[in-house]
């Protein structure tokens, strides 16, 4: 009970730092797929599909996209399971499980050879395990914002999510180590050992005060639900707590907030992940392979650039609120999607910059919205449902890319399809803006500045 009124201390901040480090290095690094694919191709992976001197081998490219698609799909589906688990067991179990599976997956990536003729391709299995392990480590990081003071909630949530995105730069480092002379086995074996050690340290750090603070947050949410109910009986709209805090999961699912979350996450995550999966093919068609994957490396370097803008993301959410922030996300998404349709390598750099900030702000703002709107008590379960629905749509990434190659001979059809998915999310964004005007406590911009100083210092965020 003491954690309900105590200041977050050194143990909580050590957990935040460790959680961010693990998230950066070992969660969704496969999103730096362009560099990862270049590393595998350089080492002769799937060389039996077609001659390695054929840099534009469509069959090998399709097999590489399949590896990415499987990892992406498994990651999203795993989010459903771990979202349910984290509310019941807490982050410690996810740290241990994620660390073990991700370490094993990395060892396999370095030591096994791909077998495209077999359903039990060991390299494909490695990416399945990586999808499960990486997601477990990512889900635990989403709880970090609930163990710090309320004034740091948006900042820590933005940091955790931007580092998930920034982990996509890690494959570039692995690629450069391979180019420098280390074997694929040496690169991934060292990476696996580091993963295991840091994950176990994080699991230990979560034990004790940080975990107890999550329990305190749940109690506070139940009190908020009682306060909101009392306000309803008095015929007024509560402005002190988001209206969904402390309600049952069923009641939360029948809300405008959840409807927006479903549409926005399904469409925007699909668009984002599809871009990462097909951009290497687009750049290759434009001649990037002939210049030593120069633009591919630029993309990978720019992917974590959004981390530098975390303070700006924090200000955007606190000052502009969710509606303004999601509008910025939408406009950035529209920019990179249009650039994809322009057949010019140097113009793609504009798309790289827009995409980096789109992806960073997308996840930072979206999970801040989920945490603020629904609270810690059901945060994992809400995410589990959203991940499952996103998983269903993610199954279409590989088939649509193949269909695009059949219909247009390249990724033009896929790019247009991604552009169409911009529309429903934008319509729901307008509806959300009107909804938040009616329920101002649901907007982070309305509640953060009004938090009393005493409450900010003494109570954990809900």
| 387-441 confidence digits (pLDDT tens) | 888 878 877 887 888 888 888 888 888 889 999 999 999 999 999 999 998 888 8
CA dihedral 369, 371, 375, 381 (to 10 degrees): 110
Query: What are the residue ranges spanned by the domains of the chain?
Result: 9-215+232-458
* Least confident interval from 136-150, 284-298, 332-346: 284-298
The pLDDT mean for the chain works out to 83
Residue whose structure tokens are 């143990």: 11
Query: How large is the angle between the packed helices 122-141 and 91-111, nearest 10 degrees?
Result: 150
Which pLDDT does position 132 carry in this prediction?
Answer: 94
Chain centre to alpha carbon of residue 426: 20
Convert the pLDDT of each residue in 263-315 to its tens digit. Answer: 999 999 899 888 887 888 888 888 887 887 788 878 877 877 888 888 899 89
Task: With beta carbons less than 8 A apart as the criterion, state whether 451 and 150 touch.
Answer: yes
- Percent above pLDDT 90 for the chain: 33
- Res. 36 pLDDT band, cuts 50 70 90: confident
Q: Which residue has the higher pLDDT, 289 or 109?
A: 109
* Least confident interval from 240-249, 264-273, 384-393, 452-461: 452-461
Write down the CATH number for the domain with range 9-215+232-458: 1.20.1250.20
């Amino acid at each position: 009970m003491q954690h309900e009124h105590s200041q977050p201390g050194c143990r909580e901040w050590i957990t935040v730092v460790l959680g961010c480090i693990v998230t950066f290095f070992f969660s969704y690094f496969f999103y730096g797929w362009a560099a990862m694919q270049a590393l595998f191709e350089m080492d002769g992976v799937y060389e039996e599909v077609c001659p390695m001197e054929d840099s534009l081998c469509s069959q090998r490219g399709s097999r590489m996209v399949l590896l990415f698609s499987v990892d992406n799909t498994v990651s999203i589906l795993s989010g459903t399971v771990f979202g349910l688990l984290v509310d019941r067991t807490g982050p410690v179990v996810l740290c241990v499980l994620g660390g073990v599976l991700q370490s094993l997956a990395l060892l396999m990536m370095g030591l096994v050879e791909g077998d495209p003729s077999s359903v039990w391709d060991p390299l494909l299995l490695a990416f399945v395990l990586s999808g499960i392990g990486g997601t477990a480590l990512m889900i635990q990081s989403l709880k970090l914002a609930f163990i710090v003071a309320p004034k740091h909630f948006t900042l820590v949530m933005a940091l955790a999510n931007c580092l998930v995105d920034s982990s996509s730069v890690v494959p570039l480092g692995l690629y450069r180590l391979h180019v420098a002379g280390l074997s694929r086995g040496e690169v991934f074996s060292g990476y696996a050992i580091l993963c295991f050690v840091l994950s176990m340290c994080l699991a230990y750090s979560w034990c004790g005060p940080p975990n107890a603070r999550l329990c305190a947050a749940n109690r506070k949410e139940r009190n908020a639900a009682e306060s909101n109910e009392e306000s309803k009986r008095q015929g007024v709209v509560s402005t002190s707590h988001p209206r969904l805090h402390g309600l049952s999961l069923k009641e939360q699912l029948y809300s405008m907030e959840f409807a927006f979350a479903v549409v926005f996450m399904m469409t925007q995550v699909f668009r984002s992940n599809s871009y990462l999966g097909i951009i290497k093919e687009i750049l290759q068609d434009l001649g990037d392979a002939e210049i030593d994957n120069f633009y591919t490396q630029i993309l990978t370097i720019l992917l974590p650039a959004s981390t530098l803008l975390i303070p700006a993301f924090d200000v955007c959410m606190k000052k502009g609120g969710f509606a303004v922030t999601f509008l910025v996300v939408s406009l950035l998404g529209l920019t990179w999607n249009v650039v994809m349709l322009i057949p010019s390598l140097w113009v793609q750099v504009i798309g790289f910059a827009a995409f980096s900030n789109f992806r960073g702000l997308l996840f930072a703002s979206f999970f801040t919205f989920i945490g603020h709107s629904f609270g810690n008590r059901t945060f994992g379960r809400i995410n589990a449902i959203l991940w499952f629905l996103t998983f269903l749509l993610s199954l279409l990434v590989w088939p649509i890319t193949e269909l695009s190659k059949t219909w247009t001979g390249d990724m033009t059809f896929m790019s247009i399809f991604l552009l169409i998915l911009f529309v429903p999310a934008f319509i729901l964004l307008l509806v959300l803006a009107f909804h938040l005007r009616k329920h101002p406590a649901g907007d982070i911009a309305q509640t953060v500045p009004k938090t009393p100083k005493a409450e900010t210092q003494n109570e954990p965020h809900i």
